[in-house]
Chains A and B, each alone.
Chain A
Amino acid sequence: MVLSPRLRWTLRILTILGLAFLYIPLLLVIVNAFNSSRTFAFPPSGFTLRWWSDTWHSSGARTALWTSVKAGLGATAIALVLGTCAAFAVQRYKFFGRSTVSFLVILPIALPGIVTGIALNAAFRNEFGDNGFGLRTIIIGHATFCVVIVFNNVQARLRRMGGALEEASRDLGATGLQTFRYVTLPNLRGALLAGALLAFGLSFDEIVVTTFTSGPGTQTLPLWIFGNLFRPNQAPVVNVVAAVLIVVAVVPVWVAQKVSDGAEQSRF
């Protein structure tokens, strides 16, 4: 195909426009984190760091952040185990119902959050009673749709690896467990890390299912944001929290990219 200069430039401009579309609202959020107007009039009426100190002292935001981190870690841990098991089963074995597994695993994430939320809410009420809602139910709810992310990443990696290395290891006399520990796992590290980061990010920002699976006393960060989004005194604090999230987010995204590119070197 002829990559004419005209084509290059058209695509370059379209990409820049696309990125602008993505980032202008985010820049607005960051600007508003310093905007001295509480209702975010545009143009900003002044510069202030007041909201940053308010956020620092906001116990509601801190508690919610910590709850979100705990829920994310829990859900990611479960997803790592379950997703890897399922990926191995599907990729390395032939069994009845194999193609259905991918379909079933993707359901929690494909179905609208409100459907998952209502269904899980009723199930948890039956299982744990009216007052059994809390961090535990949030983690289980998040795990249902985090599994598929780890599953897909690990499955893709296993597919690319092929079984050759593992066969060779078994030929050389290693047991299944040794093969897994010394051969498979190191090669999977990239996929596991990428899957874990994506799963954590997903759980961290999820709101719909969480609305239906949390109890009265537990608030994740999105729930806290939702409750404070319109409140005149709290909305600037929400902006600060969001601005921090945006800036901090570059780190895990960059790490995930580096890791999945680094895996390239292990191939031969």
Chain B
Amino acid sequence: MARGEGLSIDTRPASADSTPARRGAVSAFFARKRKTQVALLLLPPAWIVVGYLAALVVLLVSAFWTTDTFTGNVIHVYSWENLRSVYTDHLFRTVTLRTIGVALLVTLIDALVAFPMAFYMSVIARPATRRMLVIAVLTPLWASYLVKAYAWRSLLSPTGALTYVTGGHTPGYGLTATVITLAYLWLPYMVIPVYAGFERLPRALLEASADLGAGAGRTIRSVIVPMVFPAIAAGSIFTFSLTLGDYIAVGIVGGKTQLLANVIYGQLVTANDQPLAAALSTVPLLAIVLYLLAMRRTGALENV
């Protein structure tokens, strides 16, 4: 299980938010007491959140530093050089575009595969079958991410199972294999939120749609997809960000392909250029933050 999946298995519709109690004369006292309560409650999580943010800020600041090219030691000389090269260098732009392309493709594939599965699981399957299907979808997440990637390496190898079944044809290791493997790895992270979205879908709407004369196709297009879309968006956050940050699966099945995280890792380890690696990290960081903000407006964050 590589990243947070089905962060909430609970799928029933929400009731209204609770509001603080107002009791007239003692409300002021309660208000003060509540402020301390909030402060106390927020203190422990704040410790880890602020610590994490501080680490991120140090990382971002280090992007402005440079390294001694021979020894690899970091020098506290401020310069825009790293950031400039990250956003203008031909190689970095090619790799970034390639990575974003792969991320979008993987998201699309997962959404297309997850949609009918979640539809069946939620709307058509009997309750007993439904629970078994959910367990069936969640269990692969516990199989080690590395082993799953390696299983695909084995499947796609020139002497592997795929060659045996298709009589000698296999895409081999490369961009195709990378897309397939990544789509495979993140599929459960898409199925669970979409399934949750389907659970929240009022069945009455489906009946109403039928009563108004719409066929299955029309209902899916005009009623189901718009309503389930926030859930798909929620799932897409995982597939997108997980793909953007992956360098291990690419190294296992990607052959000679490089994705953004490989370049970052390469700069950190091969070039010993931590500032440049930090500068490169701003690219996925920005991409994810922008994506999260965009998804926020679709209501996806409530569905995660």
Give yes or no for direct A-B contact (beta carbon below 8 Å).
yes
Please give the residue numbers on chain A whose beta carbons come within 8 Å of chain B beta carbons, in ascending order.
1-4, 7-8, 10-12, 14-15, 18-19, 21-26, 28-29, 32, 40-43, 78, 81-83, 85-86, 88-89, 91-95, 101-116, 118-120, 122-123, 126, 140, 143-145, 147-149, 151-153, 155-157, 159-164, 166-167, 170, 176, 190-191, 194, 198, 201-202, 204-208, 221-222, 225-226, 229, 238-239, 241-242, 245-246, 248-250, 252-254, 256-257, 260-261, 263-264
B104 on the interface (CB 8 Å rule)? no
Contact B10 A114 (CB under 8 A): no
A-B contacts, 10 listed (Cβ < 8 Å): A21-B184, A86-B41, A93-B41, A111-B284, A147-B45, A160-B15, A229-B147, A246-B139, A249-B142, A253-B138
Q: Are B147 and A95 in contact (CB under 8 A)?
A: no
Q: Is the CB of A118 within 8 A of B135?
A: no
Leading 3 A-B pairs by shortest Cβ distance: A112-B245, A163-B18, A249-B142
Q: A1-B207, A28-B161, A257-B9 given as contacts; is B131 within 8 A of A102 (CB)?
A: no
Known A110-B241, A144-B52; judge A162-B16 contact (CB<8 A): yes
Given contacts A15-B117, A194-B9, contact A143 B48 (CB under 8 A): yes
Complex Cα–Cα for A256 and B101 (A): 35
In chain B between 249 and 289, which residues have their CB closer than 8 angstroms to a CB of chain A? 252, 261, 264-265, 268, 274, 277-278, 281, 284-285, 288
**What is the interface of chain B, defined by CB distance below 8 A to chain A?**
1-10, 12, 14-21, 34-35, 37-38, 41-45, 47-49, 51-56, 58-59, 62, 113-114, 116-117, 119-121, 123-124, 131, 133-148, 150-152, 154-155, 159-161, 163-164, 184, 187-188, 191, 206-207, 209-210, 214-216, 219, 223, 237, 241, 244-248, 252, 261, 264-265, 268, 274, 277-278, 281, 284-285, 288, 292, 296, 301, 304
Interface residues of B, dominant DSSP: helix
Chain B's nearest CB lies how many Å from the CB of A230? 8
Main SS class of interface, A: helix
In the assembled complex, the Cα of A159 lies from the Cα of B303 at a distance in Å of 13
In the complex, what distance in Å separates the CA atom of A111 from the CA atom of B264?
Answer: 14
Q: Note all chain A residues with C-beta closer than 8 A to B301.
A: 102-103, 106
* Beta-carbon nearest neighbor of A18 in chain B: B117
In the bound complex, do residue A86 and residue B131 qualify as a contact, i.e. CB atoms below 8 Å apart? Answer: no
Other 8 A-B pairs with CB < 8 A, given A25-B152, A111-B284: A26-B143, A114-B281, A122-B58, A166-B18, A170-B21, A207-B145, A242-B143, A250-B139
B138 to chain A, nearest CB (A): 5
Please give the distance in Å from B80's CB to the nearest CB on chain A: 20
Contact at B146–A110, with CB atoms within 8 Å? no
Contact of B140 among A3, A26, A101 (CB under 8 A): A26
Q: Give A24 to B117 CA distance when docked, in angstroms.
A: 17
Closest residue on chain B to residue A43 by CB atoms: B164
CB distance A122 to B288 under 8 Å?
Answer: no
- A144 CA to B138 CA in the complex, in Å? 23
- Whether B17 lies near A91 (C-beta < 8 A) is yes
Report the bound CA distance from A145 to B304 in whole Å: 14
Interfacial chain A residues near B54, Cβ < 8 Å: 123
B133 to chain A, nearest CB (A): 7
Given contacts A21-B187, A42-B161, A201-B142, contact A95 B38 (CB under 8 A): yes
Beyond A14-B117, A85-B44, A109-B4, whether A261 also contacts B131 by CB under 8 A is yes
Contact A40 B154, CB 8 Å, known A22-B140, A28-B161, A106-B292: yes
Report the bound CA distance from A25 to B34 in whole Å.
53
A89 with B38, Cβ < 8 A, contacts A12-B124, A114-B261, A159-B14 known = yes
